[in-house]
């Protein structure tokens, strides 16, 4: 964060460190005019795993045969470096450029982008569009952008019965058939038939636990957990309400108490086709010769928070080695991504402000007097 603050200050940005509960965040902006095009990223990384299994030290950023090795090379310090390099080469834009960089994306994501977005919205900061530098490319640079994500809901189910001897079932209440019936009904229910740009929503039972070692004992309780990946047909709250109704019915039928706990880690969202998405696709195609597929696949990202602020999409490096041992990226690919980002910025301002970016002389790194 200190390095970013120094470089961005040199490039004429006004930097604000925004720490929340010990999480480092940075919002930087150059210019006051609209439109404001934002780049979002994160500096935190997932753990290295066994450091001995790496062929390079995970935090030395070793370049070997033109390939940069290190945790975060792909996800996503490479992306941050590429956007900064693009900004440094492009000079002034007819509007504003900003950075939203967080230190808590791979972790609980409570005090990172979410808090910065809340704060900026409360202050009335206007952001018109945002590119998240996640490694969105699948096989080749620029072959895919992410324009939305499915939502994710986890639910823990506990059915409370009464323990007893299997030979005297009238003195016990078995929770096993109750949870089995409930789970069968939940999985048989068709949530939807899909949504434009999204596959059908999907409910998966992820575990069923009774853990009864005895052959002659009716268990006291039965537990299960499920995960729903859902498209914008649903909200997390609506799915929670449906699950509660289904459990309530099973409870009324069986007379056994059923407890549910839910955790929704993000609602589904989609940045619909429009000038922003099309402009980015055109720019990527112009820079790489490849028109990126607009996809909604994959896990969640901080885009789920930024969408409250403005249209958002993800565009970045090829994600093949992210989160792996020997995470790495060819230096040439970071350079190519810089060219892609530069084109994205130029196209955005050409089409929204009516004037191309970068007509003034390029910013000189470290120059004073801005
Ligand atoms: Zn990431």
pLDDT digits (tens, 9 = 90+) for 109-155: 889 999 999 999 999 999 999 999 999 999 999 999 999 989 999 99
pLDDT digits (tens, 9 = 90+) for 107-122: 888 899 999 999 999 9
What's the distance, CA 299 to chain centroid? Answer: 6
Residue 262 has pLDDT above 90, yes or no: yes
Q: How far is the CA of 75 from the centre of ligand 1 (A)?
A: 5
Kindly give the interhelix angle for 2-10 and 78-90, rounded to the nearest 10 degrees: 10
Query: What percentage of the chain has pLDDT greater than the value 70?
Result: 96
Q: How far is the CA of 304 from the centre of ligand 1 (A)?
A: 13
Q: How far is the CA of 41 from the centre of ligand 1 (A)?
A: 7
Q: How far is the CA of 105 from the centre of ligand 1 (A)?
A: 7
Residue 82 to residue 69: CA distance in whole angstroms:
16
Residue 366 has pLDDT above 80, yes or no: no
So what's the pLDDT on residue 91?
85
- The average pLDDT across 158-164 equals 98
Residue 44 annotated as catalytic:
yes
So what's the pLDDT on residue 28?
98
Residue 92 to residue 112: CA distance in whole angstroms:
29
Query: What percentage of the chain has pLDDT greater than the value 90?
Result: 87
Using 50, 70 and 90 to split pLDDT, how confident is the model at 365?
A: very low
Q: How far is the CA of 43 from the centre of ligand 1 (A)?
A: 9
Q: How far is the CA of 104 from the centre of ligand 1 (A)?
A: 10
So what's the pLDDT on residue 358?
64
Please, which residues bridge with residue 37 across strands?
97, 129
Q: How far is the CA of 76 from the centre of ligand 1 (A)?
A: 5
Annotated catalytic residue, options 75, 105, 267, 314: 105
Residue 357 has pLDDT above 80, yes or no: no
From 18-32, 54-68, 162-176, 259-273, the region with the lowest mean pLDDT:
259-273
- The average pLDDT across 48-64 equals 94
Length of the chain equals: 370
pLDDT digits (tens, 9 = 90+) for 194-213: 998 898 999 999 999 999 99
Residue 10 annotated as catalytic:
no
Q: In what order do the strands lie in the sheet with 257-266?
A: 202-209, 221-230, 151-160, 257-266
CA atoms within 13 A on the CB side of 161: 24
Q: How far is the CA of 242 from the centre of ligand 1 (A)?
A: 32
User: Which residues 6+ apart lie within 8 Å of 93 measured at CB?
Assistant: 31, 37, 345, 349, 353, 357, 358
Annotated catalytic residue, options 10, 44, 143, 197: 44
Q: How far is the CA of 78 from the centre of ligand 1 (A)?
A: 11
- Contact between 193 and 302 under an 8 Å Cβ cutoff? The reply is no
Residue 191 to residue 242: CA distance in whole angstroms:
10
List the end-to-end C-alpha distance of the chain, in Å, as a whole number. 21
Using 50, 70 and 90 to split pLDDT, how confident is the model at 273?
A: confident
For residue 148, what is the enclosing H or E element?
A: strand 148-149
């Amino acid at each position: 964060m200190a390095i970013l603050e120094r470089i961005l200050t040199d490039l004429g940005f006004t930097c604000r460190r925004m720490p929340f509960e010990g999480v480092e965040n940075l919002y930087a902006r150059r210019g006051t005019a609209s439109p404001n095009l934002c780049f979002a990223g994160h500096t935190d990384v997932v753990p290295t795993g066994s450091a001995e299994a790496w062929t390079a030290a995970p935090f030395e950023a070793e370049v070997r045969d033109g390939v940069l090795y290190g945790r975060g090379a792909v996800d996503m310090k490479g992306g941050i470096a590429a956007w900064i390099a693009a900004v440094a080469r492009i000079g002034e834009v007819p509007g504003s450029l900003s950075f939203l960089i967080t230190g808590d994306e791979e972790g609980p994501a409570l005090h990172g982008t979410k808090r910065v977005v809340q704060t900026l919205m409360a202050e009335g900061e206007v952001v018109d569009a945002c590119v998240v530098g996640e490694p969105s490319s699948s096989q080749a640079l620029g072959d895919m952008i992410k324009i939305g994500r499915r939502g994710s809901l986890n639910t823990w189910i506990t059915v409370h019965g009464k323990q007893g001897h299997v030979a005297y079932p009238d003195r016990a209440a078995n929770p096993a058939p109750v949870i089995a019936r409930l789970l069968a009904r939940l999985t048989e229910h068709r949530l939807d038939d899909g949504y434009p740009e999204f596959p059908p929503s999907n409910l998966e039972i992820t575990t069923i636990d009774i853990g009864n070692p005895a052959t002659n004992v009716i268990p006291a309780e039965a537990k299960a957990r499920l995960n729903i990946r859902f498209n914008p047909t649903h909200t997390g709250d609506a799915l929670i309400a449906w699950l509660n109704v289904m459990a309530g019915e099973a409870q009324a039928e069986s007379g056994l108490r059923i407890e549910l706990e839910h955790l929704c880690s993000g609602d589904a969202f989609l940045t619909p086709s429009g000038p922003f998405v099309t402009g980015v696709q055109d720019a990527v195609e112009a820079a790489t010769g490849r028109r990126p597929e607009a996809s909604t696949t994959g896990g969640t990202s901080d885009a789920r928070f930024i969408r409250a602020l403005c249209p958002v999409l993800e565009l970045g490096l090829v994600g093949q080695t992210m989160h792996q041992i020997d995470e790495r990226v060819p230096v040439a690919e970071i350079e190519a991504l810089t060219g892609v980002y530069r084109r994205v910025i130029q196209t955005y301002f050409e089409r929204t402000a009516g004037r191309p970016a970068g007509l003034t002389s390029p910013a000189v790194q470290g120059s004073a007097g801005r």
